Amino acid sequence: MEKNIRIRVERRKIKNINMYLRPPYDEVLVTAPIRMPEAVIKKFIREKEPWIERNLERLSSREQKPFVKPDAATKKIYTERLNRLLPDMLSLWQSRLQVEVASWRLRVMKTCWGVCHTGKRTISFNTLLGAKSEECIEYIVLHELCHLLEPGHNKRFYSFMDAFMPDWRERKKKLNE
């Protein structure tokens, strides 16, 4: 394994051993049950070396953009814009997909544009979407609503996306530029 990768082990009140890679991807965090023997933890890490190397290479090759939390005035502008746009978009797409959301909300998120909680039938939208074009916002609305038809990102999910918004890939690319 690469020499400059640090492995930090934390013991917690958990049942299973877990491994995490977090930006800036120069450290691997292993969380383990409090009473797990050291030998078991070391064996787990040795077995995961190929996974660590493969994913560190993949993740560190990505261009890292620092997350900048919007100031209060900017957040207010984004929130007001989304509160104007989202109700109509949600209504339109719920009708087309024949699904219904119990509620939705806005919150600042670091790593995603939206999250659908299928069991509760709720959606959280990233407040930073307020800076994006209407076509990009509409793409996220459809994406999250499609999760009510298919929770995972699989062939069935993407068939819904293709059927309802054939240009969704272009919109996604524009959103993430």
- pLDDT, tens digit, 9 for 90 and up, residues 111-143: 899 999 999 999 999 999 999 999 999 999 999
Instruction: Please tell us whether the domain made up of 72-175 is placed in CATH 3.30.2010.10.
Output: yes
What is the dihedral sign for C-alpha 138, 140, 142, 148? negative
Asked if pLDDT for residue 1 goes beyond 60, the answer is: no
- pLDDT confidence bin for 3, thresholds 50/70/90: low
Share of the chain above pLDDT 90, in %: 73
Tell me the domain boundaries of the chain: 6-60, 72-175
Q: CB–CB of 157/147 below 8 Å?
A: yes
The reported pTM is 0.67
Q: What is the mean pLDDT of the chain?
A: 91
Element (H, E) at 21: strand 18-21
Asked if pLDDT for residue 61 goes beyond 70, the answer is: no
Which residues, in sequence order, are bridge partners of residue 28?
7, 21
- Kind of pairing between the strands at 103-107 and 114-117: unpaired
Cα(13)–Cα(4) distance, rounded to whole angstroms? 29
Torsion, Cα 94 97 103 109, to 10 degrees, reads -110
Structure tokens at 17: 């051993």
Which residues, in sequence order, are bridge partners of residue 76?
none
Structure tokens at 147: 């999760």
| Residue 44 pLDDT | 95
| Residue 165 pLDDT | 98
Length of the chain, in residues: 177
- Mean pLDDT over 32-43 rounds to 95
- Mean pLDDT over 161-168 rounds to 97
Q: Please, which residues have CB within 8 angstroms of residue 153's CB and are 6 or more apart in sequence?
A: none
Q: What's the distance, CA 63 to chain centroid?
A: 17
For the chain, first and last CA: distance in Å?
A: 33
Asked if pLDDT for residue 58 goes beyond 80, the answer is: no
| Residue 90 pLDDT | 98
